[in-house]
Amino acid sequence: MPSATTKPPLSAEEMQRYQRHLSLPDFDIAAQMRLKNAHILMVGAGGLGAASLPYLAGAGVGHITIYDDDTVSLSNLHRQTIFKTTDQHQNKAQLAANYARAINPDITVTAVTTRIGADSVPKPRFDLIFDGSDNFKTKTWLNELSIQTETPLLSASVNQYAGQCGIFAGYSADRPCYHCLFPALPTDARNCNEAGVLGTAAGITGLYQAHLALMHLAGFKQAEPGQFINFDFKTHRIQNLHVTKNKDCAVCAHAGKNWIDHKTKDDTAMIDIISMQELKPQNHQIVDVRTGAEIKQDPIAGALHIEVSEIPARHGELPRDKILAFVCAGNVRSVQAAEYLQALGYDNVVVLDKFSL
């Protein structure tokens, strides 16, 4: 949770701007200061991000960093209503940032026009990862980033007449991660381009995502990790779920545990994260540490499959005369495996960026 005291106190103008917040029961100056001190990583300025952003900016979230490499197309405009017809072919992150700054000039908005991934991991510390992406590969990568950086993940998706949204914190011993709820990529998942989407479905889901973000950052217990809500906008049904941690989760079961008992921070170097292009010229062996279910749906040719939990028992199968390139959906499990081998004396380990394959 962001601090309530880091930045200067609210100015007279800010007091006036947020007067309706401050008039609410249980929403005091400390809660507004938490929003002011918060930094959100927003991934995607499309249907969900475009619906959420005006309210996050208007509410006074102090810093929003927006990642999106996509440009506006005519088919976006029925649901991404912060963009205009004349904005076609322009970058969404830059347009969204300008829109947010116009709503609230007191906040900082940073636009990043590249696709988020291992080669563009954001460096600053964030208080919340806001997942507005439209594909499960990015969502699983953000889940691992959440665990690696110990940052809550607020993930949402929308498809046809349905939406869903939830908060995850798999780095905590008693909180679920995204993988606990979705242990395998759906085989029939299609994005909005393929399946279609009702504009209001994206809008309502994005607004609820913004609502959860504000409640969580302001410090309300009602927005703690573990909540997940399903919207069916065709039948007007809402399903509210409480997700529990899967103790056998392949992604977060080891989070927070020193599963490499003899490893310390001082006896390992930083693990290099490289692309397939960098790896190809070298004599290498790709080691896929994902689960069997994940691999079945998205196999990597030529990779040796050893789940991360099996590495301590099976590391003897790994060659020492080749570069060992560990890969998973993101970087958490592959870094764990590489660090374990490094602690055993292997000096030939790297992490392979899955997005480069």
Place of tokens 């998205």: 298
Residue closest to 3 by CA, chosen among 127, 135, 156, 93: 127
Per-residue pLDDT of the chain (357 residues; tens, 9 = 90+): 687 766 788 999 999 999 999 999 999 999 999 999 999 999 999 999 999 999 999 999 999 999 999 999 999 999 999 999 999 999 999 999 999 999 999 999 999 999 887 667 777 789 999 999 988 888 988 998 999 899 999 999 999 999 999 999 999 989 999 989 888 665 555 555 667 899 999 999 999 999 999 999 999 987 778 889 999 999 999 999 889 999 888 888 866 544 333 333 333 456 788 888 889 888 999 999 988 888 888 899 999 999 887 888 888 899 989 999 999 886 678 877 888 788 777 888 999 987 676
Task: Tell me the per-residue pLDDT of 63-93, one tens digit each, with 9 for 90 and over.
Answer: 999 999 999 999 999 999 999 999 999 999 9
SS3 letters across 171-188: CCCCCCCHHHHCCCCCCC
- Domains annotated for the chain, with CATH where assigned, are 12-242 (3.40.50.720), 265-356 (3.40.250.10)
Nearest-angstrom CA–CA distance, 249 and 179:
7
Q: pLDDT tens for residues 169-218? A: 999 989 999 989 888 665 555 555 667 899 999 999 999 999 999 999 99
Q: Which single residue is written with the structure tokens 């309502």? A: 204
Please tell me whether residue 318 adopts helix, strand or coil conformation.
coil
Q: How many CA atoms lie within 13 A of 344 on its CB side?
A: 18
Distance of alpha carbon 51 from alpha carbon 242, whole angstroms: 25
What is the phi/psi pair of residue 260, to 5°? -105, 90
